A and B are shown apart, each in its own frame.
Chain A
């Protein structure tokens, strides 16, 4: 909307992404190995976790029991991404929340050797349920859906497939695209959540998933009470009904 009389306001377009900042230069990430670690010659399962909610869950419930940080992927002045060796069967990459989506392909190029050496790739990401398009409004406060490449097989049987026209973007989507193009075995899981704060109920789909990932070590998670939870509201309405 014009702020002053006669001001020309160019209409925006949803088609463009930072149109004025399209950067022609090629961007490169640096892989820095910790200590004597080198690229593993074979990996049974390579888990890539993207998004604060699922990364925090992974860090809290699957890391911290003697795993080995084998390398970091530096993002300049931003927080780095980390790759951990959980055990001989499982390597986990926690993608930095500061990663710029426009450099997704370059980030995946840095992971190429890991992807090609992995027997099975699992990517995990998180989206708000408001982005979920469906005839039927979701009842659960959190739920998982999955997509697989031609050769990918989900370790969980009761997870629904992502339905059109829902799409997934970011590193998880890029890894899946790469795996589909290069005929690798990969499965993507997307956790749809009502709020970006997990509790014992909303984390349940992740608990089931981590229990099914071969080699995954799941600790007992401790959940902090959300200050504003939909279930708090439900409880409030239940009280109201009781009093009527």
Chain B
């Protein structure tokens, strides 16, 4: 179930959704957008595919709001709808995909961007020599923004030969549900793109920064200061991303 707590006209909005993937890069990038755009929570998703979690507001220490496993945020200024996923999947999220597809159609959302990551150890020779960011786009997105992607020197994800050696396929190893969701949207003529970064597990904040910046080249969501630097604000809840400081007693 997707429940909106506010009645907002989402016609023409861009939906950004992360895929739970290696290094949680898509989720971290969405956190950067929510925090930097001061996006407002406008709803929740209740679905059995996600392990339930609850906690205080991750973006405002003084807020009494709760965060759940899957929340919806909105920036009316930028006309962007963001879905943040905070827990791993426990089941194949087919029902969630269906709900999301219906929601997008009912609310007349213009396009969907899926942010994900892929195992860096799966990179092939041609991918090793270039920047570790790739995109896939549906025909509708390609026709509207293809020239822009070319001017930004973006690289389309390279296809590879399938395991039987018969045909070329697009695959995102370690990319979670990104490719499945993309295929469903393409099949249903929902304009959709996947943006991904190759990475490994570790401190994935720099990867998230790069992925967010990659999307920003297209949508120009982040504001800039007087010197032209992007104003990217990390959420306050990132403070203990790698646990507490070591106890002083150990030194």
Say yes or no: A14 contacts B201, CB within 8 Å: yes
Q: Residue of B at shortest CB range from A102?
A: B90
**Closest Cβ of chain B: how far from A23's Cβ, in Å?**
5
The answer, among A16, A26, A103, A177, for a CB contact under 8 Å with B88, is A16
Residues of A contacting B66 in the complex (Cβ-Cβ under 8 angstroms): 147, 149, 176-177, 180
| Nearest CB in chain B to that of A170: its residue | B52
Q: How far is B68's CA from A104's CA once the two chains are assembled, in angstroms?
A: 14
Could you tell me if B48 and A26 are in contact, using CB atoms closer than 8 angstroms?
Answer: yes
Q: How distant is the Cα of A103 from the Cα of B90 in the complex, in angstroms?
A: 8
Write out the residue numbers on chain A whose beta carbons fall within 8 Å of the beta carbon of B48: 26, 105-106, 109
Say whether, besides A134-B244, A164-B57, A173-B54, A101 and B90 are in contact (CB < 8 Å).
Answer: yes
> Is B89 a contact partner of A17 (Cβ separation < 8 A)?
yes
Q: Which residues of A38-78 are within 8 A (CB) of B?
A: none
- Please tell me if the beta carbons of B54 and A176 are within 8 angstroms of each other in the complex: yes
Residues in B151-171 with C-beta less than 8 Å from chain A: none
Rounded to whole angstroms, the CA-CA distance of A12 and B174 in the bound complex is 10
Given A177-B69, A181-B3: A12 touches B201 (CB 8 Å cut-off): yes
Residues of B within 8 A of A4 (CB): none
Counting contact residues on chain A (CB < 8 A from B), the size range is 35 or more
Among B23, B52, B121, the residue within 8 A (CB) of A15 is B23
Q: Given A11, A109, A176, which contacts B119 in the complex, CB threshold below 8 Å?
A: A11
C-alpha gap A223/B56 in the complex (Å): 33
Residues of B contacting A196 in the complex (Cβ-Cβ under 8 angstroms)? none
Report if B210 contacts A (CB, 8 A).
no
Please judge, given known A-B contacts A13-B174, A17-B89, A24-B94, whether A147 and B44 are in contact too, CB under 8 Å. no
CB-CB under 8 A from A103, the residues of chain B are 90
Tell me, in angstroms, the Cα distance from A170 to B14 when the chains sit together: 32
Chain A residues, CB < 8 A from B3? 181
| B92–A22 CB distance below 8 A | yes
Q: How far is the CA of A180 from the CA of B211 in the complex (A)?
A: 32
- For B94, what are the chain A residues with a Cβ–Cβ distance below 8 Å? 24
Decide yes or no whether A220 CB sits under 8 A from chain B: no
Contact B88 A23 (CB under 8 A): no
10 additional A-B residue pairs with CB within 8 Å, beyond A104-B52, A165-B241, A169-B53: A14-B24, A15-B22, A16-B88, A102-B90, A133-B243, A137-B247, A165-B55, A167-B55, A173-B54, A181-B68
Which residues of A approach B to under 8 Å, CB–CB?
A: 11-18, 22-24, 26, 101-106, 108-109, 133-135, 137, 147-150, 161-174, 176-178, 180-181, 188
